[in-house]
Amino acid sequence: GAGVSQTPSNKVTEKGKYVELRCDPISGHTALYWYRQSLGQGPEFLIYFQGTGAADDSGLPNDRFFAVRPEGSVSTLKIQRTERGDSAVYLCASSSGRGGTDTQYFGPGTRLTVL
């Protein structure tokens, strides 16, 4: 596609439920990133994929968070047993993956609200 797309745009769930957030990167981009942005803050890194593998998952806050990218394109961020503190905008970005100075392009995000 022309840009990074994310679905759903908004997700409201109850504490303790499981959610999945989807990211479709720019066609041909091998690098994919997930960030989380809380109100009044800049985005914070969660995980980075190069192809199908997670090259850096150091930003995942705990084991309730997991992400996959089985075919090296679409990625899903999965959150188990959601907590109110998980409420935030989850942003996905992609880049060409060629390394060096490689620009990350962001999607519109998913606003997650945990009641």
Partner 1 sequence: EDKVVQSPLSLVVHEGDTVTLNCSYEVTNFRSLLWYKQEKKAPTFLFMLTSSGIEKKSGRLSSILDKKELFSILNITATQTGDSAIYLCAVEAGLGFGNEKLTFGTGTRLTIIP
Q: Which positions touch partner 1 (CB under 8 A)?
A: 4, 31, 33, 35, 40-45, 48, 50, 55-56, 59, 89, 91, 95, 97, 99-109, 111
The residue count of the chain comes to 115
- Of the chain, the end-to-end C-alpha distance in Å amounts to 33
Structure tokens at 10: 């908004």
Query: Could you tell me which residues come within 8 angstroms of residue 51 by beta carbon, excluding any fewer than 6 positions away?
Result: 30, 69, 72, 97
Closest CB to partner 1 among residues 3, 16:
3
Closest CB to partner 1 among residues 41, 80:
41
CB of 106 to partner 1, least distance (A): 5
CB of 1 to partner 1, least distance (A): 14
What's the gap between Cα 89 and its chain centre?
Answer: 9
Amino acid at 49: F
Closest CB to partner 1 among residues 6, 82:
6
